[in-house]
Amino acid sequence: MAGPAAVSPLALALPALPPLAGVKLGVAAAGVRYQGRSDLLFAEFAPATTVAGVFTRNRCPGAPVEWCRKRLPAGRARGLVVNAGNANVFTGRAGSDAARMTAEAAAKLIGCPARQVFLASTGVIGEILPVARLTAALPAIHADLGADRLADAARAIMTTDTFPKAATRTARIGGEEVRITGIAKGSGMIAPDMATMLCFIFTDAKIPAPALQKCLTRGIGGSFNAITVDSDTSTSDTVLLFATGQARHQPVPATGGAILRAFSTALAAVLHDLALQVVRDGEGAQKLIRIDVTGAVSARSAKRIARAIADSPLVKTAIAGEDANWGRIVMAVGKAGEPADRDRLAIAIGGVWMARDGAVVPGYDESPVIAHMRGREIAITVDLGLGRGKATMWTCDLTHGYIDINGSYRS
Amino acid sequence: MAGPAAVSPLALALPALPPLAGVKLGVAAAGVRYQGRSDLLFAEFAPATTVAGVFTRNRCPGAPVEWCRKRLPAGRARGLVVNAGNANVFTGRAGSDAARMTAEAAAKLIGCPARQVFLASTGVIGEILPVARLTAALPAIHADLGADRLADAARAIMTTDTFPKAATRTARIGGEEVRITGIAKGSGMIAPDMATMLCFIFTDAKIPAPALQKCLTRGIGGSFNAITVDSDTSTSDTVLLFATGQARHQPVPATGGAILRAFSTALAAVLHDLALQVVRDGEGAQKLIRIDVTGAVSARSAKRIARAIADSPLVKTAIAGEDANWGRIVMAVGKAGEPADRDRLAIAIGGVWMARDGAVVPGYDESPVIAHMRGREIAITVDLGLGRGKATMWTCDLTHGYIDINGSYRS
């Protein structure tokens, strides 16, 4: 690994994370790859906990992703084991054996079937996971599980992250308050397609798995599927949502419905908060960039254009250099391959319209834009002038820090 | 501009460039943007010169691209004016006026219709082209045109290029030798889609425009459409091929055919040579990377997978760091969204197969791969094991130099 990177200038402080009924956690330093820090998370959930999940669309997923996908339809979870430092991806039979052995060891301690233990791994691809170190560490963690370890859990799943990420909200279901708390890790290989890096959400609500899945899927679009750091889609992206059912609200039907409106909104807020924290910790990030595209022919088209801008190395390096180079935004709009008419296109940075109707705005004064570019949060707006399609994406700038981190990740 | 970058370590020397019958050239320092170097190229072609071209697919093309597209169907060219430093893109009515005025000024000097003058501009987007500087410089250039200025021409069209790019070949048409010489410039915003940055090819062959276009289109697939530096598609990509008709070979039919087989092959070689020079001068490039994908379900699928690898920042930074991180290649294959079966996938670097059948090759010895990674030319081979589709792409690594150049391009 490269030397420890400085904490991102965009970092947020961890919020207070109250315990969640039905969730007990513990961490350990299993020495999978890192020395002198925790790298293993073990969580046990109350009986009857339901689970929902979304995973990477990468065609070469890791063994833990395959394990979870296969177990998700049953909708039941009693445990979660996550390790950092080794992704257990492209490890063949040894990889699926390692996943199974980890689940079995955890299940034995909990007293449940292995199929109710969910798994995630993050780190280097293609190296055999030293599974014995994981299974050897689990009994001691299990003997000391506690409800107050959410911050420790957020730290244990970090890889190149420079700060731990968590978010929490409350919502009411039929008048009764429930809590939703999530943790996540980034921070490179981030261009989620249906899911993202690792994110685990816990709630004490009692929600049937199909309704839970519906809420989760709905929340992903505006959060983890609306961010990109480097256009690279991980093989391990996993979001899992566990509902322990300890809250005493009225029953929720399997199809969900209006009773979950507030829950669904709060969950979306937790997901959105975590997704933006991932971008804030994008490798080498110095600036958080919000890209709003309006006036496209459809929402799908708007999203593709927003993604083309967000993934453009030339746009991202210009922003790193605090250069309001809107010509590169024009280029990125044009390269998206979506309907665009140069002569109707308008571009604003920091709320200042600089280009409109196919040319620079007459009398355009760059000075407020220059001031905006010097800040930590950059806002780009593109209006296509063609229709009502709109989308928002978040990304970060592309800096020397990204090259430093990724030119020496394995060494 | 950032200070002058050191010449790329992958640079090639300019070849000897013999004059071409029917092509007279001149350059000048018009001061469009750069000081103390030539930035304007003016070429005059013999009467009856035919022309073929391919242009960017970017939806926001520059005024010169629009000018050329409109004039290309007539197939006739008498002049070419190219400036570096200002791309004349997203400049509205002023931009199309500037293009027309440039063509008119050149046409007056040549004594031809303005529609037979072709144009290209490269440089900053969104700034009004100082057209008076161009038109003022043209008469002096025209008074001193010469046949021996191809190397000067290659230098005059450079922007962030660190070395001039040219290639030349001969071929026989019906027993008679003809020559094909091209010049090109790169070196960022390179992910051509049907065309590339600026490239001008001259030949003394006498070939009807439709046949000429056929040869050019055929040659682009394996050259400018098989390279990428940073996945960003320029708004100005232009390849123009001029045939002056001065060679005394037998007539070529409008449809081309077998008589052009050798010409077509030589043209493809010139295009390929120039395209690789563009990659060799990719912004910040330290290594030239060749990616061969085989065993895909189709050639199209293979090309998409090759492009996903070539455009992956994580693959490119790993290579910059001389790290044989094949896990990132697995990731890039998987993110392409094309049919791929992890358990049939095989990956080689420098000819050494390191991953096969969904796992690392047993007993894999990394040392020859490490030695290969230290070299200037890196070869990646991916076999999907699914079908017969194959494709090759070339790219370069992603280094601090790219960030340096693009974080301060306008300043």
Min Cα separation A160/chain B (Å): 14
Task: Report residue A3's pLDDT band, with 50, 70 and 90 as the boundaries.
Answer: very low
Nearest CA of chain A to the CA of B309: how many Å?
10
Whether B318 contacts chain A with CB within 8 A: yes
The beta strand positions in A104-227, using DSSP E, are 117-124, 165-173, 176-184, 198-203
CB contact under 8 A, B188 and A314: yes
Residues in chain B within 8 Å Cβ distance of A126: 326-327, 330, 355, 360
Mark yes or no for CB contact A232/B89 under 8 Å: no
How close A235 comes to chain B (CA, Å)? 6
Q: Reduced to 3 states, what is the DSSP secondary structure of residue B251? A: coil
Q: Does A188 touch chain B (CB under 8 A)?
A: yes
Mean model confidence pLDDT for chain A:
90
- pLDDT reading at B327 higher than 70: yes
Question: pTM of the entire structure?
Answer: 0.85
C-beta atoms of A325 and B233 within 8 A: no
Who among B59, B318, B330 is closest to A89 (CB)? B330
Asked if the bond preceding A187 is cis, omega within 30° of 0, the reply is: yes
pLDDT at A191: 65
Chain A neighbors of B331, CB-CB under 8 A: 58, 60, 125, 189, 232-235
CB-CB neighbors (< 8 A) of A406 in chain B = 313-314, 317-318, 321
CATH of domain B288-406: 3.10.20.340
pLDDT band at A409 (very low <50, low <70, confident <90, very high): low
Q: How far is CA B285 from CA A64, B10, B279, in A?
A: 37, 8, 8
Answer yes or no: do B317 and A357 touch at CB < 8 A.
no
How buried is residue A255: exposed, middle or buried, by Cβ count under 10 Å (0-12/13-18/19+)? exposed
> Average pLDDT of chain B?
90
Which of A205, A196, A128, A139 minimizes the C-alpha distance to A172? Answer: A205
A377 residue type, one letter:
E
| A262-266, A319-323, A395-399, B279-283, range with the lowest pLDDT | B279-283
Cβ count near A110 (within 10 Å): 21
For CA atoms A268, A270, A274, A277, give the dihedral sign: positive
Nearest CA in chain A to B338: A59
Boundaries of CATH 3.60.70.12 in chain A? 23-280
Residue-wise burial string across B279-313, b where 16 or more C-beta atoms lie within 10 A, e elsewhere: bbbbbbbbbbbbbbbbbbebeebbbbbbbbbbbbb
CB-based contacts of A19, cutoff 8 Å, min separation 6: A147, A148, A150
Q: Give how far A192 is from chain B: nearest CA, Å.
A: 10
Evaluate if residue A352 carries a pLDDT over 70. Answer: yes
The 10 Å Cβ neighbour count of residue B349 is 23
Tell me whether residues B408 and A311 touch, CB distance under 8 A. Answer: no
Give me the residues paired with residue B380 across strands.
Answer: B291, B349
Q: Where in chain A is the domain with CATH 3.10.20.340?
A: 288-406
For chain A, give the percent of residues with pLDDT over 90: 68
Residue with tokens 């000024």: B105
Distance CA A25, CA A252 (A): 26
**Are the Cβ atoms of A60 and B125 closer than 8 angstroms?**
no
DSSP-assigned beta bridge partners for residue A243 = A50, A203
Q: Which residue of B has its CA nearest to A230?
A: B313
As a residue count, chain A comes to 411
CA-CA distances (angstroms) from residue B270 to A94, A370, B131, B216, B265? 49, 44, 32, 11, 9
Closest to B231 (Cβ–Cβ): which among A313, A317, A338?
Answer: A313
Residue B250 burial (CB count, 10 A): 10
Of A224, A161, A180, the closest CA to residue A10 belongs to A161
Separation of alpha carbons B76 and A395, rounded Å: 47
Band (A1; pLDDT cuts 50, 70, 90):
very low
Residues on chain B touching A311 (C-beta within 8 angstroms): 231
Q: Is B371 on the interface with A (CB under 8 A)?
A: no
Cα-trace Rg, chain A: 22
Chain B residues with CB under 8 Å of A331 CB are 58, 60, 125, 189, 232-235
Q: Select the residue from A403, A408, A409 to test the B interface by mutation, using most B Cβ atoms within 10 A.
A: A403
The more confidently predicted of residues A147 and A238 is A147
The per-residue pLDDT for B193 is 54
Which are the catalytic amino acids of A? 196
If we measure between CA atoms, which residue out of B396, B322, B60 comes closest to residue A313? Answer: B396
A 137-176 residues inside an 8 A Cβ radius of B: none
Q: How far apart are CA A362 and CA B184, in angstroms?
A: 35
Distance CA B278, CA B12 (A): 11
Residues 6 or more apart whose Cβ sits within 8 Å of residue A299: A389, A390, A391
Could you read off the pLDDT of B70-120 as tens digits, one per residue? 999 999 999 999 999 898 988 889 999 999 999 999 999 999 999 999 999
pLDDT digits (tens, 9 = 90+) for B157-167: 998 888 999 99
Are A403 and B407 in contact (CB < 8 Å)? no
Query: Residues of A with CB below 8 A from B345's CB?
Result: 60, 90
Residue A411 confidence (pLDDT):
43
Residue A277: both structure tokens together: 């924290």
pLDDT at residue A155, as a whole number: 95
Please name the residues in contact with B123: beta carbons below 8 A apart, sequence gap of 6 or more.
B32, B33, B83, B84, B85, B86, B87, B159
| Rounded mean pLDDT, A17-31 | 95
Is the CB of residue A58 less than 8 Å from the CB of residue B335? yes
* Rounded alpha-carbon distances, angstroms, from residue A162 to A89, A178, A268: 23, 30, 24
Q: Which residues of B touch A127 (CB under 8 A)?
A: 327, 360
Q: What is the mean pLDDT of residues A348-369?
A: 91
Q: Which residue has the higher pLDDT, A193 or B159?
A: B159
Q: What separation in angstroms does the CA of A163 have from each of A181, A402, B25, B157, B163?
A: 17, 16, 59, 47, 43
Which of B252, B181, B215, B244 is closest to B49 using CA atoms?
B244
Q: What is the pLDDT of residues B271-315, one digit of tens each?
A: 999 988 888 988 889 999 999 999 999 999 999 999 999 999 999
Dump pLDDT digits (tens) for A270-315: 999 998 888 898 888 999 999 999 999 999 999 999 999 999 999 9
Task: Mark yes or no for CB contact A125/B311 under 8 Å.
Answer: no
Strands B40-45 and B23-28: antiparallel
Catalytic residue of the set B56, B159, B196, B233: B196
B43-56 pLDDT per residue, tens = 999 999 999 999 98
Fold topology of A23-280: L-amino peptidase D-ALA esterase/amidase (3.60.70)
| Mutation target vs A (from B326, B335, B383, B395; most A CBs, 10 A cutoff) | B335
pLDDT confidence tier of residue B191, bands split at 50, 70 and 90: low
Q: In what order do the strands lie in the sheet with B352-356?
A: B359-360, B352-356, B346-349, B377-383, B288-296, B389-396
Q: Tell me whether B2 touches chain A (CB under 8 Å).
A: no
B195 pLDDT band (50/70/90 cuts)? very low
